[in-house]
Amino acid sequence: MRSYLDPLAGTRFPLDVPRWRSDTGGPLLVTPGSGIAPADIDTSERSLWRYRSTLPVEVRDPISLGEGRTPLVARAYGGGRPSFKLEWCSPTGSFKDRGASVMLSVLRQQGVRAVIEDSSGNGGAAVACYGAAGGLDVTVFAPASTSPAKLAQARAYGARIELVEGPREASQEAAIAAAARGFYASHNWHPFFLEGVKTLAYEIWEDLGFRAPDHVIVPVGAGSTLLGCFLGFSELHAAGQIPRLPRIHASQPLNCSPLDAAWRGETDRPVAPTVAEGAAIRNPLRLAQMLEAVRDSGGSTVAVSEDGILAAHASLARSGLYAEPTSALAAAAYDRLVRRGAILPEELAVVVLTGSGLKSPRS
């Protein structure tokens, strides 16, 4: 039977009781699943819920708006021909709809009726959207410096917005302190959010005719895309559906790159503002698990300068792909990995574009 797992202490907790952290205050995962075969896919569903048999609990009435089933488009780019996974085709314009749909569906089934989230962008919009669709009360704590345009979407869904002075971490602390009036359904903390994001790996596998690519390149802030892909492909490998994991490469802005710094053994890399706002996480909760995912998949990390991010953003747009700057991190990393010889021209690479360029019109 699957359960919540504290990856550091090894402690397990039952899944039928809502919880977002361990007894020692650390982030949780869910114990690994056994994976599925093609015959286990519910082909009547045109959403991520076609992979519902991979989830650790049975969800009888999911909150779904058709999230998932996003296009996989092969394009010439940066000296190669990668396939771009267009996650901006999700209902709120970002991959975070996957996690929000699964997380809030499970919480509503467990009796939660009011949730609290902290976010400066896509996560808050996704939780507000699926909360509205599921009849849940939603409050989003955000830094006071957040662009009003980035909060307009969450407000439109009816979420209450609480602005907090100080750095991004201050809004998280305020949200946790307010959890007495609602369940803390953080897209960074709650393990069922990762269970939703892991459907990205299953979908890529199905998109490619039930095989894994050689490489997957993802932008990384808090790490949910990286960890979701690692979880999903690991389950497929355990089930014997793929012979090995794809190499998962994590791309970060050089101005805020704690994963890349840790990968390279640096302890004092400076932090500065970045145009890739969605990846500006100074101290990711799951850094140890992120390092493990990169290492165990045989992948690597790439840190991209601000000029490199903007150049990739413009290059994508000129090829018809209008992504937000955070997504452009993955394209910039692909180009660098090809030039370095880490990705060969004949190898199949999937570049995940996590959000729409309409999310960051100022760029």
Could you tell me if residue 60 is inside a domain? no
Using only C-alpha atoms, the chain has a radius of gyration, in whole angstroms, of 19
Total structural domains within the chain: 2
Same domain, 245 and 351: yes
Kindly report the CA angle at 57 between 56 and 61, in degrees rounded to 5? 135
356: β partners? 323
Boundary-marking domain end, from 162, 184, 206: 184
Same domain, 217 and 163: no
- Residue whose C-alpha is closest to residue 92's, from 62, 126, 63, 118: 126
Could you tell me if residue 117 is inside a domain? yes
What pLDDT is attached to residue 363? 60
Same domain, 225 and 307: yes
CA distance 217 to 113: 36
What pLDDT is attached to residue 217? 98
CA distance 80 to 35: 31
Same domain, 256 and 341: yes
Could you tell me if residue 58 is inside a domain? no
Same domain, 228 and 336: yes
Same domain, 291 and 203: yes
Could you tell me if residue 304 is inside a domain? yes
Look up residue 268 and give its two tokens.
């004092």
CA distance 192 to 209: 27
Same domain, 167 and 229: no
CA distance 284 to 65: 29
Phi, psi of 255 (to 5 degrees): -70, -20
- List strand residue ranges (DSSP E) for 170-327, in order: 183-184, 215-219, 247-253, 301-304
Could you tell me if residue 9 is inside a domain? no
Could you tell me if residue 236 is inside a domain? yes
CA distance 223 to 285: 9
- Residue whose C-alpha is closest to residue 73's, from 249, 317, 245, 321: 321
DSSP helix/strand/coil, 363: coil
Identity of the amino acid at 141: F
Same domain, 254 and 206: yes
Could you tell me if residue 268 is inside a domain? yes
CA distance 165 to 271: 19
What pLDDT is attached to residue 102? 98
191 contacts 296 by C-beta, under 8 angstroms: no
Kindly report the CA angle at 149 between 145 and 151, in degrees rounded to 5? 70
Phi, psi of 340 (to 5 degrees): -80, -15
Q: What is the pLDDT along the chain (363 residues), one digit of tens a residue?
A: 899 999 989 999 999 999 999 999 999 999 999 999 999 999 999 999 999 999 999 999 999 999 999 999 999 998 899 999 999 999 999 999 999 999 999 999 999 999 999 987 899 999 999 999 999 999 999 988 887 877 899 999 999 999 999 877 889 999 999 987 889 999 999 999 999 999 999 999 999 999 999 999 999 999 999 999 999 999 999 999 999 999 999 999 999 999 999 999 999 999 999 999 889 899 999 999 999 999 999 999 999 999 999 999 999 999 999 999 999 999 999 999 999 999 998 999 999 999 999 887 666
Boundary-marking domain end, from 149, 184, 219: 184
Same domain, 167 and 301: no
Same domain, 198 and 343: yes
DSSP 115-184: EEEE-SSHHHHHHHHHHHHHT-EEEEEEETTS-HHHHHHHHHTT-EEEEESSSHHHHHHHHHHTGGGSEE
Same domain, 134 and 256: no
What pLDDT is attached to residue 86? 98
Q: Residue 135's domain spans which residues? A: 113-184
29: β partners? 5
* Residue 13: its H or E element: strand 12-13
pTM metric for this prediction:
0.96
Could you tell me if residue 178 is inside a domain? yes
Considering only the C-alpha atoms of the chain, give the largest distance between any 2 of them, rounded to a whole number of Å.
Answer: 54
What pLDDT is attached to residue 360? 78
Boundary-marking domain end, from 184, 209, 238: 184
87 contacts 352 by C-beta, under 8 angstroms: yes
CA distance 285 to 99: 17
CATH code of the domain covering residue 120: 3.40.50.1100
What pLDDT is attached to residue 135? 98
Same domain, 307 and 176: no
DSSP helix/strand/coil, 103: helix
